[in-house]
Amino acid sequence: MEHIVSLIVLLVFCFLLPLECRTRKPAVSGKWYPSNPQELANDLKDYLDKAELSETQNQLEPLGIMVPHAGYMFSAPVAAWCYKLLENKKYDTVILLGSSHHYAAGIVSVYDGDKLQTPLGEIPVDRKLAQQIIAGHPHIDCNDAIHAIEHSNEAQLPFLQYLLKDFQVVSILTSTNDKKLLLDTADIIYQAIAASDKKVLLVLSTDMSHFHNYDLAKKMDQETIDLIITEQWQTLAKKINWRDCELCGFHAFEIFQKIMQLSGSDKPVLLQYANSGDAHPEYGLDSVVGYGAIVFPQKMNPEKSISSDDDKLTAEEKKWLLNLARKSIIDSLNHANTAIPKPDNRLLRQERAVFVTLHKKGNLRGCIGHMIARDQLYKAVWQMAQSAAFADPRFDSIELAEMADIVIEISVLSPMQKVKTIDEIVMGRDGVLVQQGYHSGVFLPQVARETGWDKETFLRQLCSSKALLPPDAYLDPQTEIYIFQVEEFSE
């Protein structure tokens, strides 16, 4: 009888003991970011202070962000551009999506412990949401070993702690390349979010190209970024498979991208790009890693949308940009690591798409640009001038002795404006972009002037020869049509 009483007392005692709290300890604290809380907080503040979002960018409301996860001295200045958007915002739960660098377990692993720890403290896990996701598929599970040493999601936690209050987190790591499982996981996560009343932010953790020389890395990353911001997902998947593009977190990206699509996010916006060679050139430029900060924003209410600015550049502003382009090339030739001069003028700080063209004695010597605005105008001119001089694959790099013969031309594109009917297109004034699904094509305004085509011929040629769509695709309600104008000026 005494044995039975003792057993009962022992069972009651064990029952009353608090359950052990499972906390994921930091794996790269003190290595990839400071372990001292005050030093870490100071560094985060510095990174965020230096991320200078434009007025347009500041109005973006993130559904998801794509950020890098390398050591903070290399990647945090880029990641800060996305995290800057979280200032003074409230999220109930943040879902982290990363890929395991160490395990190929054939599963998607969702951490269902109690807390995640960093030098800044502990973040509670949204266990209800985590367990709901785990229950959705037999190959979604929790493997503590996968999470214990993985840095990709851990690298995001200090930024989140510094900026957000009273939030929970779900950490998900892909340890599989099973595309069906990845897409099923996206469906399960989306349904779990939709069924809750929580405001949720998704964070995709991925670096870009790995261990190529500086110029090749920039070229590869440029293609990757272009495919992401134009939402060419199938082409991106093929390029990743062919190793023409690189995202170390691509399997997590497949989940992220589908959730963004299901959530109806607006078109992705690049906020910043750099690689480890930009951050610390003293470590060499022969083997660098690329980092991108891209936001997937909520679609804006039409009545709250940002109106296009039809202001034209003055002669003084055009001259300033031309001088800036020339300075950019000469500084690069002289290996002068100078900061980009920042203008006071509001127009020059607007996000604009731009092309820079170089002519030598009347002949083309280089031309690089973007159809879609990706940076403030003055920064875009600085970067595209260097690209036209040194990265146009059709030509050898410009040499300093040539600069006296080089004439610089700049083409500034107005913001894209979606049209409801083709009647809004003015031939010779407007450039036109058509887009349907993964297919898109563009004609500059001068195409109409040079060919003499009427509007119907112009649009049929654009659809068939540029977008690889049926010639009459411009009549299809599924086809989106955008117009833009171009300001061209030269030295």
SS3 call for 456: helix
Task: Say what the pLDDT of residue 13 is.
Answer: 40
> Percentage of residues in the chain with pLDDT exceeding 70?
93
Shared domain for 368 and 266, answered yes or no, is no
Last residue of a domain, one of 367, 395, 413: 413
- The answer, yes or no, to whether residue 149 has pLDDT greater than 60, is yes
Measured between alpha carbons, how far is 172 from 141 in angstroms, rounded to an integer?
Answer: 10
Quick check: 440 and 434 in contact, CB under 8 A?
Answer: yes
Residue closest to 116 by CA, chosen among 90, 153, 146, 79: 153
Q: Is the domain of 116 the same as that of 163?
A: yes
Q: Of 303, 337, 371, which marks where a domain is finished?
A: 303
Given this model, what pLDDT does residue 37 score?
97
Q: What is the pLDDT of residues 351-392, one digit of tens each?
A: 888 889 899 988 888 888 877 777 789 999 999 999 999 988
Query: Which of 413, 428, 451 is at the close of a domain?
Result: 413
Tokens of 9: 């007392």
High-pLDDT (> 90) share of the chain, %: 66
pLDDT (mean) for 224-241: 92
Residue 7 has pLDDT above 50, yes or no: no
Q: What is the CATH number of the domain that holds 409?
A: 3.30.700.20
Task: Give the pLDDT score at 401.
Answer: 92
Mean pLDDT of the chain: 89
d(CA 374, CA 352): 7
Q: What average pLDDT score do residues 239-267 get?
A: 93
**How high is the pLDDT of residue 19?**
52
Q: Is there a domain that residue 289 lies in?
A: yes
- Return d(Cα 115, Cα 219) in angstroms, integer: 40
Residues 394 and 456 in one domain: no
Contact (Cβ atoms closer than 8 angstroms) between residue 176 and residue 141: no
Q: Which of 477, 456, 479, 457 is nearest to 467 (CA)?
A: 479
User: Quick one: pLDDT at residue 300?
Assistant: 55
Closest among 126, 104, 108, 107 to 116, alpha carbons compared: 126
Residues 424 and 403 grouped into a single domain: no
Residue 125 shares a structural domain with residue 246: yes
- Total H helices, total E strands in the chain: 16, 20
Total domains present in the chain: 3
One domain for residues 441 and 379: no
Assess whether 179 and 262 both reside in one domain.
yes
For residue 4, the model assigns a pLDDT of 52
Least confident of 184-198, 374-388, 439-453: 439-453
Residues 390, 422 within the same domain: no
CATH number at residue 65: 3.40.830.10
Q: Which domain holds residue 423?
A: 417-490
Question: Distance between CA 324 and CA 126 in Å, rounded?
Answer: 50
What are the φ and ψ backbone dihedral angles of 399, each rounded to 5 degrees? -110, 155
d(CA 361, CA 384): 21
Assign residue 281 a region: left if phi > 0, alpha if psi is -120 to 50, beta otherwise? Answer: alpha
Whether 84 and 212 share a structural domain = yes
Q: Do 104 and 242 fall into the same domain? A: yes
Cβ distance 71 to 111 under 8 Å? no
Q: Which residue has the tokens 């998704």?
A: 202
- Strand-by-strand arrangement of the 363-369 sheet: 363-369, 353-360, 406-413, 486-490
Q: Which of 64-68, 149-153, 338-342, 407-411 has the lowest mean pLDDT?
A: 338-342
Q: Is residue 7 part of a domain?
A: no
Task: Give the CATH number of the domain where residue 446 resides.
Answer: 3.30.1490.150
* Pair 260, 341 in one domain: no
- pLDDT over 70 at 6, yes or no: no
Residue 140 Cα distances to 121, 177, 203, angstroms: 28, 13, 19
Residue with tokens 């982290």: 96
Task: For residue 31, tell me if it sits in a domain.
Answer: no
* Stretch 331-345: mean pLDDT: 86
In 232-287, beta strands by DSSP E: 269-275
- Would residue 310 count as lying in a domain? no
User: Do 89 and 113 belong together in one domain?
Assistant: yes
Domain contains 227: yes
